[in-house]
């Protein structure tokens, strides 16, 4: 069957480690609260309040997923303040920007995304994150890949995280493809590959150290460029279409 879309995990697949470190972004939110909202809020107090409302997470096991704006709101309420929706959104954006400011693309990521776009594939990102997908849009621009990505879905958007199939299905719906028309690329067997299988998708495991072997229902690659070998000639050659223009994330 023809593959029409390629979906990627974010941290560990397209960008280097994206593990959440709360202290620095919590400090950015506290600074905003002092300067803009005139709240007597110490960095450490907001850090502690945020940590207290952030549920525990075990990769591959935790399926329920919180969303950043609700966590920020909960932390402020715990400290005795109720912020309006606009201020919560501003605080969430600041938190996201600070938390992701050091992320870097893997050397092979931009090239494979550009190749897939040129060859006619729809491209999506499905990631376990407390951040809403819309927060990623300016980050994609900063990384120079906004023109290649059609959709970003996070566990925070859906309320369920990988390996639950729900975020995959939401991304497939946005991309306008069925599960058998898409392949998922990720670096975790327990979250990415298991979830893709649950959603009825074929999958590719990225193991940059070359220690894992292929298993039932998935291939293993060390370099993202190897995805092109899996996809073969691509959609353009099959359908005789002209090269598409760059899209934008939705």
Q: What is the pLDDT of residues 28-65, one digit of tens each?
A: 999 999 999 999 999 999 999 999 999 988 888 888 99
Name the residue with higher pLDDT: 239 or 175: 175
What's the pLDDT at 147? 96
Distances (CA, A) of 158 to 63, 125, 128, 148, 175: 11, 14, 10, 23, 16
What's the pLDDT at 78? 96
Lowest mean pLDDT among 48-62, 101-115, 177-191, 212-226: 212-226
Please give the Cα distance from 166 to 172 (Å, whole number).
10
What's the pLDDT at 1? 63
Residue 32 φ/ψ, nearest 5 degrees: -60, -40
Name the residue with higher pLDDT: 245 or 24: 24
Please give the Cα distance from 111 to 170 (Å, whole number).
26
Name the residue with higher pLDDT: 245 or 208: 208
What's the pLDDT at 158? 95
Average of per-residue pLDDT across 192-203: 95
Q: Could you give the strand order of the β-sheet that contains 218-221, starting from the edge strand earlier in sequence?
A: 151-154, 122-127, 5-8, 182-186, 202-206, 218-221
Average of per-residue pLDDT across 61-88: 95
What's the pLDDT at 234? 62
What's the pLDDT at 228? 87
Average of per-residue pLDDT across 147-162: 96
Asked if pLDDT for residue 17 goes beyond 80, the answer is no
What's the pLDDT at 243? 43
What's the pLDDT at 211? 77
What's the pLDDT at 212? 74
């Amino acid at each position: 069957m023809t593959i029409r879309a390629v979906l990627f995990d974010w941290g560990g697949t397209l960008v280097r480690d994206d593990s959440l470190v709360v202290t620095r972004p919590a400090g950015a939110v506290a600074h905003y609260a002092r300067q803009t909202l005139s709240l007597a809020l110490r960095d450490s107090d907001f850090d502690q309040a945020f940590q207290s409302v952030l549920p525990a997470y075990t990769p591959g096991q935790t399926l329920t997923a919180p969303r950043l704006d609700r966590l920020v709101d909960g932390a402020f309420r715990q400290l005795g303040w109720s912020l309006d929706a606009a201020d919560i959104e501003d605080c969430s954006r600041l938190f996201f920007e600070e938390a992701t400011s050091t992320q870097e693309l893997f050397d092979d990521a931009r090239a494979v995304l550009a190749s897939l776009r040129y060859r006619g594939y729809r491209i999506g990102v499905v990631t376990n994150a407390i951040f809403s997908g819309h927060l990623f849009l300016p980050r994609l621009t900063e990384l120079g890949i906004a023109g290649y990505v059609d959709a970003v879905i996070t566990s925070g958007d859906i309320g369920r995280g990988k390996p639950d199939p729900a975020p995959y299905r939401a991304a497939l719906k946005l991309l306008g493809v069925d599960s058998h028309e898409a392949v998922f690329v990720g670096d975790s067997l327990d979250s990415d590959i298991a979830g893709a299988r649950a959603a009825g998708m074929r999958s590719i495991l990225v193991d940059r150290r070359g220690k894992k072997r292929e298993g039932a229902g998935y291939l293993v690659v060390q370099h993202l460029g190897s995805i092109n070998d899996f996809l073969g000639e691509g959609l353009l050659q099959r359908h005789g279409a002209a090269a598409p223009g760059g899209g934008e994330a939705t």
